[in-house]
Amino acid sequence: MSRRTATVIDLFSGAGGLSLGFRAAGARILAAVDASEPAGRTFRRNFSLLQPRQPPRVFLGDEGNLEDLDLESVAPQAKGPDILVGGPPCQGFSRVGRAKLASLADDPEADDPRNELYLRFVSAARYWQPPAVVMENVPGMLSVRGNNLAEIVAGDLASCGYRVGYALLNAVWYGVPQFRERLFFIGIRGDLGLLPSAPVPTHRVELPSGYLRPPEAITLSLPFMPHFQLEVPLVRAQLTATTTRDAIDDLPRIIDHLSEPRPPGRVEDFRVFRPYDHHPASTFARLMRAWPGLDVPPGVQDHVIRRTPRDFETFRRMEADDRYPEAMRIARERFQEELARRASSGNAPAEGTPGYEELRRSIVPPYPEAKFVDKWRKLNADRPSWTVPAHLSRDAYSHIHYDSDQARAISVREAARLQSFPDAFEFSGNMGDCFTQIGNAVPPVLAWAIAAHVMTQVGFRARWPELHRETATSAQKRRSALPSRARRRPEPARGDDVQGDG
């Protein structure tokens, strides 16, 4: 195996979930590109700490618009990366965005998936010709009005000289405390004589029938559907899934919102430091506190919540896995209890009066149950979380803390933990910006598994986390079993053969 450190360029990098995984595996990040100013600032701040001697170049905001950016300015062709990674914007392929895409059916120009920004990723692969490429997107790409657009993407990458496969991977299989299914494309340059493959799952999960609703259903197999035909044997994972309790139970409790009403108009400072309450009890929590390359913090920042006093008591009474219909039943019960309490003292408002409606609004949420079944949901401490979405930037009611004594939705830092961002990784921007960056990211622990797998396969040294130790052993055994031509190392890096910082 090569002793060289792999170099990486991250396109559509966001806050840096993919890059964080590749850096943890031992790669050096050359550059990152993203149009979001807050996400770019997050990337720049954290990776200047992770690579203090050789910080990556970060193109953000207007200069990070890949539609106009000259790839030569990111890295000269002769000094391109060993691995190109990225997650192009996926709204057009997501389940939420599919209806909008279908509405463009009468406009063939607008409906052409080749107009998507993923083509800039393809152009970069063609320009730099790295030994390997990794691209992430949403499962909705597999079926848009009956068409498998993933085949188009794989074909475009194959036209650049790569053997390409794509797989639906669920983050929970790799130790992330979250059911999060995403589509990953892995390409290996054809002259290396290697076939792409998916990382072997390390964690298993057993769920009761009907636990997840269909849009959130975990795929119980590992389909790897390459552009050419290839079958990958499935290996049963040996470790149990990381639960929500494993992920966030060691974080400081938040209860001040129950006794300290926020004055009207007050904007809470969410850069508040909170020391840890106790030692981490899980392997996952220990990793979140002690991520390779980052300092071990004495506590956390950004561990704050939106204050929504109308609903605190409803949160407290909800059971694990309860959704919005159950929350509405509880809220109506609370309303009737308050009416009875006021009636006992002779000051209950009469039905139909402004006072009656005002009291109802102060206790009962206004959303129709039929349309917002999953708008609220209380986490189950003994199972992984469901998908952490970007729309937590608007409200976090889809992830209500399992601890009824805390009676609240999750904090920014808890969302980061469920996505497997370490505690020392700090997010830039306001609270909404932070939630958006977290929800849009590739979970770093999943990215680490993919990074170590791909780096090992194409001949670079790679570091594996304790969570994936079995994966490392299996990957090395598989590689040693390949014919000599398939084990050929990638060509030396163009430019300096840098060993990196770690």
Residue range 339-396, pLDDT digits in tens: 999 999 999 999 999 999 999 999 999 988 888 888 899 999 999 999 999 989 888 8
The total of other beta-carbon atoms located within 10 Å of residue 361's CB is: 12
Looking at the chain, the domain(s) classified CATH 3.40.50.150 span 7-240+443-480
Q: Give pLDDT tens digits for 31-51.
A: 999 999 999 999 999 999 999
pLDDT at 263 over 50: yes
pLDDT at 500 over 50: no
Question: What CATH number has the domain spanning 7-240+443-480?
Answer: 3.40.50.150
More confident residue, 341 or 487: 341
Confidence class for position 3, pLDDT limits 50, 70, 90: low
Q: Give pLDDT tens digits for 14-27.
A: 999 999 999 999 99
What's the whole-number mean pLDDT along residues 106-115? 44
Q: Which of 50, 17, 26 is nearest to 465 (CA)?
A: 26
What pLDDT does 238 receive?
Answer: 79
More confident residue, 96 or 457: 457
Q: What is the DSSP string of 462-488?
A: ----GGGHHHHHHHHHHHHTS-TTTTP
90 is catalytic: yes
What pLDDT does 488 receive?
Answer: 40
- Lowest mean pLDDT: which of 10-24, 60-74, 171-185, 279-293? 60-74
More confident residue, 321 or 219: 321
pTM, two decimal places: 0.87
What pLDDT does 239 receive?
Answer: 86
What pLDDT does 224 receive?
Answer: 63
More confident residue, 350 or 478: 350
State the Cα–Cα distance between residues 135 and 451, nearest whole angstrom. 12
pLDDT at 115 over 90: no
Q: What is the DSSP string of 102-171?
A: HTTTT-HHHH-GGGSTHHHHHHHHHHH--SEEEEEE-GGGG-BTTB-HHHHHHHHHHTTTEEEEEEEEEG
What's the whole-number mean pLDDT along residues 446-467? 92
What pLDDT does 420 receive?
Answer: 98
Positive or negative, the CA dihedral 384, 387, 391, 397 is negative
Confidence class for position 498, pLDDT limits 50, 70, 90: very low
pLDDT at 107 over 90: no
Confidence class for position 62, pLDDT limits 50, 70, 90: confident
Find the catalytic residue in 39, 90, 167, 450: 90
What pLDDT does 90 receive?
Answer: 62
Q: Which of 183, 272, 273 is nearest to 226 (CA)?
A: 183
What pLDDT does 473 receive?
Answer: 47
pLDDT at 202 over 80: yes
pLDDT at 254 over 50: yes
Q: Which of 356, 391, 357, 393 is nearest to 374 (CA)?
A: 391
Question: Chain-wide mean pLDDT for the chain?
Answer: 84
What pLDDT does 277 receive?
Answer: 85
User: What are the b/e assignments for 385-400, b being 16+ CB within 10 Å?
Assistant: bbbbbeebbeebbbbb
What's the whole-number mean pLDDT along residues 425-442? 95
Contact 461, 455 (CB under 8 A): yes
Confidence class for position 223, pLDDT limits 50, 70, 90: low
Distances (CA, A) of 85 to 13, 17, 19, 121, 371: 8, 11, 8, 8, 37
pLDDT at 57 over 80: yes
State the Cα–Cα distance between residues 131 and 341, nearest whole angstrom. 71
Confidence class for position 415, pLDDT limits 50, 70, 90: very high
